[in-house]
Chains A and B, each alone.
Chain A
Amino acid sequence: MFNKRVIVALDSNDINKTINLVKTLRKDVYAFKIGYEFFFNFGLNGYKKIYSICPKIFLDLKLHDIPNTVKNGLNALAKIKPLLTTIHISGGDQMMLSSKPKKNFIKILGVSILTSLNSKQTKKYYNESNVSVLVKKFAKLAKKNKLDGVVCSPKEIKYIRKQIGKNFIIVTPGIRINNKIKKDDQKRIETPRKAIEMGANYLVIGRPITQAKDPLKVLKEINKTIS
């Protein structure tokens, strides 16, 4: 009966439209994802407006800095109580270990490899052309350094779930509802049901819901397919 696994990405520069969307969808989402576009357009005030309507927020700011800076940043961020937030795994062991905010229920997820990077890019920047090999390595390091989970592409879900076990949150973006929709800029994609079957806990879905004529209908349809 519990099928709230969709995190709706609020990537928009129109706050009123976003607020209406949140009001429409709040009962059927796991959370709303606030990323750079929303956060840097509307700041803390915008965040609080969304939070007051629905206090289920994935604040995706992908922190990446020296350990002490990230730690202090997260302690400040904890005050606005998102459910989930992100740091880059490539920030290193010490950064991950020191990242746990002191209070409350915030889960810290590690960003492995950005889903926009293809093998040429990963070869260039990480000296590894096999993206999956990199992601798997990063996920293991995230677990070892006590993060609560990872963000990864659907392609790696199965392996990460198998290797790391149950108590590790897997959030996956790159979800499209069917093949008719063009792939945009996220290169590795899957359907919602398949992603859940492979072991994802939560799915980040943006445009297929937010730009639909009837976003609630689309969200409910997705919920139905994964319940």
Chain B
Amino acid sequence: MLIKICGIQDEDTLLCCENNNISFFGMIFYPKSPRNISLENASLLQKKSEHLNINGVGVFVNKNINELEEIINNLKLSFIQLHGSEDEAYLRTLKKNNVKIIKSISISNKEDFKEIYKYKSADYFLFDYKPLKDELPGGNSKRFDWNLLKNLQTDKPWFLSGGININNIQEILLDIKPFGIDLSSGVEKELGIKDNGIINNFIRKLKNA
């Protein structure tokens, strides 16, 4: 199972992730998020990661497509994650920039999984808790009913996201068995602040599960 940690903002955390064999680090380009990263910082992390065995993922919410293409090319991103109401035409256009696309799908009931049929150009899906009106598009420490995943049929690999922490990782490994998991608030000491100790603990627990 692959692990992605979302909302990385500094090199120290990036190195901690790499030490723990984490596959992806997410850089959030969304000013409303407490985990928002500047282009300059993202550029530094992305450069650093070129020599590491971990991939940067740019995370965006309904970003102007021209600006997004500019960021992809400037940062040489190989992976992006789209967290808004982007549509298939948007994804198809971005694919021309040689990126792999993770499309997040917000889930509150089984009908919500029908969304996946709209996105032929997505390479991966990421299933997350469906936020309420006033909540962020992601990183709310909340989970949806994971039982809904049992009837899921898709050829594409998918990540589980939302409310994953040290207490439910065993259930995920044994029952849900996703291609990957996406962590954020579950490895933070306070809102938006990642903690290397919690990351280390999490991975230790995962290995022993």
A and B are interacting partners? yes
Binding site for B on A (CB under 8 A): 1-2, 4, 26-27, 30-31, 51-56, 81, 83, 103-105, 107
A-B contact list, 15 entries, CB within 8 Å: A1-B74, A2-B74, A31-B66, A53-B89, A54-B89, A54-B93, A55-B89, A55-B90, A56-B65, A81-B87, A83-B64, A83-B65, A103-B62, A103-B85, A105-B62
Say yes or no: A2-B70 contact (C-beta < 8 A), given A51-B89, A54-B93: yes
Q: State A53–B163 Cα separation when bound (angstroms).
A: 37
- Write out, one digit per residue, whether chain B residues 42-62 have a CB within 8 A of any chain A CB (1) or not (0): 000000000000000000001
Q: State A4–B63 Cα separation when bound (angstroms).
A: 16
User: Distance (Å) between the CB of B19 and the closest chain A CB?
Assistant: 34
Say yes or no: A105-B63 contact (C-beta < 8 A), given A27-B96, A54-B93, A55-B93: yes
A30 nearest CB neighbor, chain B only = B66
**Which residues of chain B from 57 to 104 have any CB-CB distance to chain A below 8 Å in the complex?**
62-66, 70, 73-74, 84-85, 87-90, 93, 96
Q: State A55–B70 Cα separation when bound (angstroms).
A: 16
Binding site for A on B (CB under 8 A): 62-66, 70, 73-74, 84-85, 87-90, 93, 96
| Given pairs A4-B66, A105-B63, 11 additional interface contacts (CB within 8 A) | A2-B70, A2-B73, A31-B66, A53-B89, A55-B89, A56-B65, A56-B66, A103-B62, A104-B84, A104-B85, A107-B64
Q: State A107–B63 Cα separation when bound (angstroms).
A: 12
Q: State A52–B88 Cα separation when bound (angstroms).
A: 8
Q: Which residues of A contact B63 (CB under 8 A)?
A: 105
Q: Which residues of B contact A1 (CB under 8 A)?
A: 73-74
Q: Which residues of B contact A52 (CB under 8 A)?
A: 88-89
A79 nearest CB neighbor, chain B only = B85
Q: Which residues of B contact A81 (CB under 8 A)?
A: 87
| A104 pairs with B62, CB closer than 8 A | yes
User: Distance (Å) between the CB of A85 and the closest chain B CB?
Assistant: 13
Q: Which residues of B contact A104 (CB under 8 A)?
A: 62, 84-85
Q: Which residues of A contact B65 (CB under 8 A)?
A: 55-56, 83
Q: State A88–B186 Cα separation when bound (angstroms).
A: 48
B68 nearest CB neighbor, chain A only = A105
A31 nearest CB neighbor, chain B only = B66
Q: Which residues of A contact B64 (CB under 8 A)?
A: 83, 105, 107
- Sorted nearest first, the 6 A-B pairs with minimum C-beta distance are A55-B89, A104-B62, A2-B70, A52-B89, A105-B64, A105-B62
A29 nearest CB neighbor, chain B only = B66
Q: Which residues of A contact B73 (CB under 8 A)?
A: 1-2
Q: State A56–B89 Cα separation when bound (angstroms).
A: 10
Q: Which residues of B contact A105 (CB under 8 A)?
A: 62-64
